[in-house]
Structure 1
Amino acid sequence: MTDTNIKAGWIAVDWGTSNMRAWAMSASGTVLAEARSDQGMGQLSPDAFEPALLAAIGDWIAGPTTVIACGMVGSRQGWIEAPYASVPCTTLPERLVIAPTTHPDLTVHVIPGIKQTQPADVMRGEETQISGFLARNPGWDGVICLPGTHTKWVHISADEVVSFQTFMTGELFDTISKQTVLRHAIAADGWDDAAFAEGLDQSLSRPERLAARLFSLRANSLLNGLSGDAARAQLSGLLIGAELVAAKPYWLGQQIAVIGESRLSTLYIKALASQAVPATQVNAAATTLAGLTAAYKRLKG
């Protein structure tokens, strides 16, 4: 529920597959209030987006109000499709897409994603985090890693996305730990730092043995008493290690920033450090909001 005493100058929205997060903003860019909703893109039909948004932010609207939205809200299955920009490109597009609304005081602008033809890849939402990072770090060149369900490695030069690569590491971890035979060996939570480091080292040194190492988690659980916590951490290490081997052309010899949820980002920082690669950890929510603010400023000129 929103604060009825807050009236927004404009509203920033990060709308993903599972959740939506909104911020009431002053005209100068100060956060006045925040709202969260579990009404993600994955459970909404196109005509349900406006009611879901108004349920979260309706009390902030007092007269004509601009909303800047990023994420899966602009996907083909979202509120309105915001066509991808093609690399190489800036992360702040020339034109935003306006979603259809019935509320007389509501105008919703959706930020497009970015696509790459060869090798084929897409991002939607991460471009806004990158915009926010670059707005806070003018002239920055290097590689940005965005860990998550689908981790992105993005090469940035001259304020443009030059190329990027997506790895389904997070989704693989979730699927393997919950929907394969390894579900009997892996705890739902808990952690073991030594087991993570062991799995990481195994994949970094012999990535071609990943499939065999995965089944060893089950065997070690049955035969050697490997704990569920250790199995969970070692699975993470195995998958992140394999990702780092494949992503080596991105991170080798580059300046690296890691933007994402704190705990997961820390694992990537540790994995890179094991290869003597320093990386800067960046708060995801802060960079998302900074990117939405940059898009608003550009829209208003």
Structure 2
Amino acid sequence: MKITNWAILFVCIFIPFFLIMDFRTSDLESVSELNHQYTIALRTAAQDAGVILSMNEMQEYETEYRSIKFFKVNKELAIDTFFMTLYLNFGVERDPIGQGALAAYVPAIVVLDYDGYYLYTMTEYTATNGETIYKHMWRPKKPYAFADSAGNSINFTLDDYVHAYDDTTRKWVQGFRYDLQDQTHIPLLNDGASFETLRKSIIVKSIQDDLAYFINKHNEYATRNGIHYSFKLPEIAEEDWVNSINDIGIMAFIQGIPVGDQYYNSYAFGGGRLMKKVVINGGIDDNTGMKYYYQSDCAYSYRVEEKFDSKKDAAAEGYYPRECVR
């Protein structure tokens, strides 16, 4: 066979193969890009919602407990913010039909409050005209609760503060664990290490069990709406769970969005801790006329001329650093 014939045969056999591989590579790149875009959209929505969680309507809620972790979560505004950001990043902010389609891929959202958690899931109810309606709705708040074999019960929080029932005295007590140590007949309150281990375990397991149930329950709604995907709680590392319960926050799940021949399946966590911003004072020593910058909580009697967001900004305006005196 002539060399030209071999060349033609080679082209006939391998060119289609190369074309298929090229198309496949292009599809994989598109899938990867879409996965990345969806992940950014989901994380941004969760982070925005997490920030909103700690925006209280009534400041007196903050003094109910003596804990820096306590906030009265604004779950309604947080969930509105989550979906608003999500719709914006998916390009359906002005498309009610597209918003409804996207929301169908959100099987569950959980909001972690200081002393319990809320689930926002698809709920079935019957309208006044007899029609069956499916809609995302809040489930009642569930406490981080535990009961031992002796009849004692403890409602945990995101730190050491507890509401506990002492079955021996038949009385409720509340306070930080170390303040209640040796003051009750509840053994767990006397062992700091065991208390902390069980506290985290109870919180994580309670949330896991409810999420697994309601995400699986979402399959009934999805099937009726033509979504051919099996919703289930994804595998989440134990370390991620423990980190997620350090402060109030929101955890959102998106599953089943078709991406090429695959499905997008992810979750994101948005924390709601308020970080107090440190203000830098720019003050003048009236005795010497020298200009100094220092943190606003430092005990100096200098005449404050300016306030800055950073030490760098203060130094740029000719102020010299002073160590903090408290």
TM-score (norm 2): 0.26
Based on CA coordinates, which of the two structures has the bigger radius of gyration?
2
